[in-house]
Amino acid sequence: MNILQKWNSISLVKRIICGLIIGAILGMAIPQVTVIGILGTLFVSALKAIAPVLVFFLVIAALACGNEGGGKTMGRVVVLYLIGTFAAAVVAVIACHAIHVTLPLGSGASTEGYTAAGGIGEVFTNLLMNIVANPIASIINANYLGILAWAVVFGLALKKASEPTKKALFDFSEAVSQAVRWVISCAPFGILGLVFTTVSENGLEIFIEYGRLLGILVGCMAFVALILNPIIVFTQIRQNPYPLVFKCLKDSFVTAFFTRSSAANIPVNMALCESLGLDEDNYSISIPLGATINMAGAAITITVMTLACVNTVGLEVPLAMKILLSFVAAISACGASGVAGGSLLLIPLACSLFGISNDIAMQVVGIGFIIGMIQDSCETGLNSSTDALFTAAAEFHDWKAQGKPIQW
C-alpha cells in the first residue's frame, strides 16, 4: 500500500513521461521481446470496455440530476459556449483540410476495405439508423451515436424522478468515473507498451508524425484562444477584448494547464469572476455549466484526431462532410468526461460517422494518450479559461446596454 500511495502521489504527467521514455528505450534496445507490447493492448482494451458505459451513464445523470437556474445573462452565456465550441471545431477542420496528417497505427489494424460515403444523404441515413439502434446493443457494439441518443431520452425521462433515484444515478455515474480514473492511472504502463510496439516496429522517426499532429492540435487551440475568442468577445463588448482575454489566460489558463481538470479549476474561475465584479448569481451557475458544455479544446481534439484517422485509412471526404463532423464534434465535446483525457474517449463516436471501426478508433485514442501530456493540458487550459471569458463577455454586454462602465 505504501508503494501504491507513493506511486499515486507522483503527477500523472510525470509518470506518463517516464513510461514514454522507457517504452522508447526498450523498443530500441530489445524490440524482439514483443510481450512488452501487451501492456498497451490491455490499456486500450480497458478503455474500449469502459468508454461506452461512461458516456451512457454520465449523460443520463447530467440530464436527470442537473440543477435549473439562470440569471438574465445565462441564455447569452450558453449561446456563446455553443458558438465557441462549434467554431473551434470548424477551425480544426480548416487546419486539417490545409495540412494533411496521418497516424502511425499498429500492424494489427487493417486499413483495407474502407470506401468513402456516397454523400450527405448516406451519412444522415447511417446516422439515423445508429441513433435508433437498440440501447443495449449500442453499448455492447460501442455505437456511440445510439448511446448518446438513448442516454438523452432516459435522462430527460428521469428528470422528474424521486430524489433517491436521482442520487442513485449520480452515485453510479461517479462510480463509473472513478473506474475510468483507475484505468487512466494505469496510463503510464499502457503508454510504455504502446510506445514500445510503435518504436520496435517503426523506429524513433515515428515521433516526427506525432510532432506534426501535436503541432496542429496546439496551433488550433492557440488560434482559438488568441484570435477567435477575442473576435467573439468583441461582438459582445464592442471594445478591445485583449486585456480581458489575457487576464483570463493568466488567471485561469495557467492553473488549468497544470491541473488538467476543468472541474478542479472551477474555484479559480469563480475567484476570477469575483475579481471582475460579476454577478455571483450568474457566474455561480455559468462556471460549473461551462466546465461541462464549453469544450472548444475538446472539439478541436476530436476533430483533428478523427480527420487524421480518416486520412490514415485512405478515405476521401469532401469539405461539406468535414463541416458535418464539426457539428458532431461540438455536440460530442459537450459530453466529454471531466477526467484527464476524457475527450479522447469520444473520438470513436466521431470516427463512427465515417464508418471507421472501433478497433481503429481506439488505436487513435491510444495515440492521443501518448501526446496527451501537452494536448490535454492545452485543451483544459483553453476550455476552462473560456468559461470565465464568455461569462464575463455576456455580463459586460448587459453592462454596456445599461451604460455601466466596463472595468477589470
* Burial of 348 from C-beta contacts in 10 A (0-12 / 13-18 / 19+): buried
Residues 292 and 311: beta-carbon distance below 8 Å: no
Q: Residue 335: its pLDDT value, please?
A: 57
Reading the block at residue 200, the C-alpha cell is 520496435
Closest by CA to 85, choosing from 378, 270, 392, 334, is: 334
Give the residue ranges of the chain where pLDDT is below 70: 1, 8, 12-13, 55, 62, 66-73, 105-124, 126-127, 144-145, 202-209, 258-261, 263-264, 281, 334-342, 407-408
Reading the block at residue 115, the C-alpha cell is 470506401
Q: Residue 108: its pLDDT value, please?
A: 43
- Half-sphere exposure in the Cβ direction for 218 (13 Å, CA): 15
* Burial of 402 from C-beta contacts in 10 A (0-12 / 13-18 / 19+): exposed
Digit-coded pLDDT (tens) for 165-192: 888 888 888 888 788 778 777 878 888 8
Q: Residue 349: its pLDDT value, please?
A: 75
Q: Which residue has the cell 441518443?
A: 149
Q: Which domains does the chain have, with CATH numbers?
A: 11-402 (1.10.3860)
Q: Residue 87: its pLDDT value, please?
A: 93
Q: Residue 109: its pLDDT value, please?
A: 42
* 154 three-state secondary structure: helix
Q: Residue 112: its pLDDT value, please?
A: 46
- The terminus-to-terminus CA distance of the chain in angstroms comes to 49
Reading the block at residue 136, the C-alpha cell is 443495449
Q: Residue 230: its pLDDT value, please?
A: 95
